[in-house]
Amino acid sequence: MTEFSFNSSKNSVKSKVKVILTDTASLNVGKFLKEEELKALKLAIKEGDFKGEYGKSVSVYDGKNHIILIGTGNKVVKLDIQTLGGKLYKQISKFEKVAFYINPMPKYNLTSSEIACNLAFGLEIGGYSFDKYFTKKEASAYPKLETVEFYAADGKLNADDYQNLCAVANAVRYARDLCNEPGNYLTPEVFAEDIKRLEYLGLKVDIYDEEQIRGLGMNMLLSVSQGSINSPRVAVIRWTGEPDNKHPTFGLVGKGVTFDSGGISIKPSSGMGDMKGDMTGAAVVVATMKALALCKIKRNIVGVVGLVENMPSATASRPGDIVKSMSGQTVEIINTDAEGRLVLGDCLWYIQQKEDCHVMIDIATLTGSTMRTFGFEYAGLFSNSDMMSRDLCRLGEESGEKVWRLPVNKEYDKLINSDIADMKNCGPANAGGITAACFLQRFIVPKNSWSHLDIAGVDKDDKGHPLTPKGATAFGVRLLTKFFGCY
């Protein structure tokens, strides 16, 4: 991890790599650059016809020192600054020490401190990599970037301002680590142990094992895990940031299928390895809880994650089986690959009945249908609350983790009625993301507010983007931490 220093001095710096942000071709760099450097840069600006366009850069190198000038464009919001940080990471990660010079941007309502902090955030999450399983490390392949120093024209930088964004970056990286971890290492038991370790932050964690889960009556969840030799766990993570507040606790629920083979309704082999990431919802919930604790958010929030492995075996549940959920409703299992809703249904019921939550969000890599609808751009949002939907859509745009609402209504709900039980676990081939949401809604007490985020597709970046390097994205951490006011 890179170390950031928020230095307010305007004096020239010793770093051999200097980066300057600007929205114009004119330079206001105080004593950050030496006379000769300034001259060379001015020439390069002219040659490159640089006008401060977003993401465009001009650089000079005199054999010893590098100077990089990067444009912010002239319509800048915090997310743009974060993205610049992510873009710059590739360019500067080969250096050990880099200095940034920042001018406040009152035109866009951004202070120098906000700019520095959002750059640092972008560098942190854009510079994420998962390399623990390489046994040979080639020095050249690994980034060095050890220190980044920020200098501001107005001298108004403060390390304290970075605390919360740093916590969120830390949570994003933590969730990505969990998601990239393969299924043979991250079993439900190992995942639960990892969650338990978060207690040092002041979170209260309860882990239920198989017997306790059976005692609670979570038979839908158990039906998913019964084919696996890895026994299930349910983790309940509590953050009580406002002990005296008697308002009901906000609930978060995450799908934690540590590997989804499809079970007896087995998936095709191509791409099946991606299903190690079928626990992304759970990782996002756990990481969000971590961030809430790190930021000491003054709210009471409880996270529940259902951790199971979905495998085919002699003990696996079969298509045609009927199981009784914790809510008492019965479910005919049509397809054992529609397992996430079985896990979530019991966890949603649990969080309302045992944790007294009246407002909740669940997050899950739930359906291929939603993935095919939105590709890598949006997550699907399903909700019975217009207010929560509006908030989530707005915060999605702000955080860069965008969500788009789809309907959940009676017409779609009818499609999951069963001939021999209260419902079946999947509907017809079409509208799969919506019928999955309808299934979940059958486990929501009607007076309660609920939103469901289907993050299948956005959970993983196959190409790599400035803020999401190839691999697990941990989609949802930036959105949910914003929702709870971490940043």
The active-site residue, picked from 90, 267, 296, 324, is 267
Could you give the string, one character per residue 266-305, with x where binding to ligand BES holds by CB under 6 A and - elsewhere?
------------x---------------------------
Residue 261 binds: one of ligand BES, Mg ion, Zn ion, none (C-beta under 5 to 8 A by kind): none
Cα distance between residue 290 and residue 166, in whole Å: 12
Are β-strands 403-405 and 471-472 bridged in parallel, bridged antiparallel, or unpaired? unpaired
Closest approach, Cβ 224 to Zn ion, in A, equals 9
The active-site residue, picked from 18, 341, 442, 482, is 341
Closest approach, Cβ 207 to Zn ion, in A, equals 22
Under 8 Å between Cβ of 195 and 237: yes
Neighbours of 183 (CB within 10 A): 21
Cα distance between residue 337 and residue 307, in whole Å: 16
| 337 is a site residue for Mg ion (CB under 5 A) | yes
267 carries an active-site annotation? yes
Residues in 274-303 that interact with Zn ion by CB under 5 A: 278
Structural element, H or E, at residue 112: helix 112-126
| 340 is a site residue for Zn ion (CB under 5 A) | yes
Q: Which backbone phi and psi does 463 adopt, to 5 degrees? A: -95, -40
214 carries an active-site annotation? no
Among 171, 426, 480, 486, binds ligand BES (CB under 6 A): 426
Under 8 Å between Cβ of 186 and 279: yes
Residues in 219-258 that interact with Zn ion by CB under 5 A: 257
Cα distance between residue 303 and residue 238, in whole Å: 6
Closest approach, Cβ 197 to ligand BES, in A, equals 26
Q: Which backbone phi and psi does 379 adopt, to 5 degrees? A: -95, 155
| 260 is a site residue for Zn ion (CB under 5 A) | yes
Could you give the string, one character per residue 238-267, with x where binding to Mg ion holds by CB under 5 A and - elsewhere?
----------------------x-------
The residue count for binding Zn ion (CB under 5 A) is 4
Tokens 């249904």 label which residue?
345
How far from the centroid of its chain's Cα atoms is residue 67's Cα?
A: 33
Cα distance between residue 35 and residue 33, in whole Å: 7
| 454 is a site residue for Zn ion (CB under 5 A) | no
Closest approach, Cβ 220 to ligand BES, in A, equals 14
Cα distance between residue 191 and residue 422, in whole Å: 33
| 309 is a site residue for Zn ion (CB under 5 A) | no
Closest approach, Cβ 474 to ligand BES, in A, equals 14
Could you give the string, one character per residue 321-360, with x where binding to ligand BES holds by CB under 6 A and - elsewhere?
--------------x-xxxx--------------------
Closest approach, Cβ 366 to ligand BES, in A, equals 6
Q: Which residue is nearest to Mg ion (CB)?
A: 337
Which parts of 51-162 fold into alpha helices (H)? 78-92, 112-126
Closest approach, Cβ 342 to ligand BES, in A, equals 10
Q: What share of the chain is helix, strand, coil (3-state, %, to 5)?
A: 35, 20, 40
- The conformational region for residue 299 under phi > 0 = left, psi -120 to 50 = alpha, else beta, is beta
Could you give the string, one character per residue 449-468, with x where binding to ligand BES holds by CB under 6 A and - elsewhere?
-------x------------
| 459 is a site residue for Mg ion (CB under 5 A) | no
Q: Which backbone phi and psi does 363 adopt, to 5 degrees? A: -140, 135
Rank residues 84 and 371 by Cβ distance to ligand BES and give the closer one: 371
Are β-strands 379-383 and 403-405 bridged in parallel, bridged antiparallel, or unpaired? parallel
Cα distance between residue 40 and residue 62, in whole Å: 9
Interface contacts to Zn ion, rule CB under 5 A: 257, 260, 278, 340
Q: Which residues are catalytic?
A: 267, 341
